Structure 1
Amino acid sequence: MIPGVVTSRRTTGGGDTDGSDCTRGLHQRCTVLPDADAAMAAAVAHGAHVVTEAADSAWGDRGGRVRDPFGNIWWVMSRVEHIAPDLAWQRMSEPKYAEAMRTAQQTLDATLSGRETGVASDPQRPSH
């Protein structure tokens, strides 16, 4: 649905092993483009609805989500800066990045569940 997107990768869903949820017809696709804000604006101009406003992430991406007229959810991202994993985890404690992560979780959960308000959890750093 996003103009100019040639490839994408399915990232979540909750049903089948390929990431799709055939019982509800929900698919989330992830794509990385040079300008996430412009891509989201183009998608909205072509009938998509914003699920998650674009925001900067602790790991150096800028992105948000849109839902196209067919019900697919697109996670649209652009790489803003390259961040080492340790720095990304440090940045997760900064309010700007913590709020962006919380909003991303809540808006997706609300959209997928049909609830007015979605839920979020605190990021958990993987143990090595």
Structure 2
Amino acid sequence: MLIALDQLSGAARLGASDSVDGDTVIEVGELLTSVIVMAANVVRDIRENIRNLVGGRMTHYEQLIDAAVQNALSDLEKKAQSRGYDGVIGVKIATPTVVDGGVEVVVYGNGFRLHQSAAKKDDDQL
């Protein structure tokens, strides 16, 4: 589960509350990062450089950045699971960087664990 803070309704109250929907307690853990560097195809890279000179959308780089972002998000989620977290909160994607022959994407956020509140545990036992 990946959560950007702006995706949560009532995110402003998150700082004053330790619950989500009134039945779980969030334990925020360590900062997790994922860095993906993907190389471009040499022939397509030449074509994109020509397109850069004359103007227009550089669709190959757009696709490469999209793939890198998806890979980084997937990697971040796997890291969270391997460290025992239920997900990542506050997910941010740093501005992707296009360098000669490739792209770099950095994704980061804090791992979190969800715990049932005491009231919810009592309800479940009944």
**TM norm. shorter chain > 0.5:** no
Please identify the structure whose Cα radius of gyration is greater: 2
Which TM-score applies when normalising by structure 2? 0.23
The structure showing larger relative contact order (alpha-carbon pairs under 8 Å, at least 6 residues apart) is: 2
Q: Which has the higher strand share?
A: 2
- Larger helix fraction of residues: 2
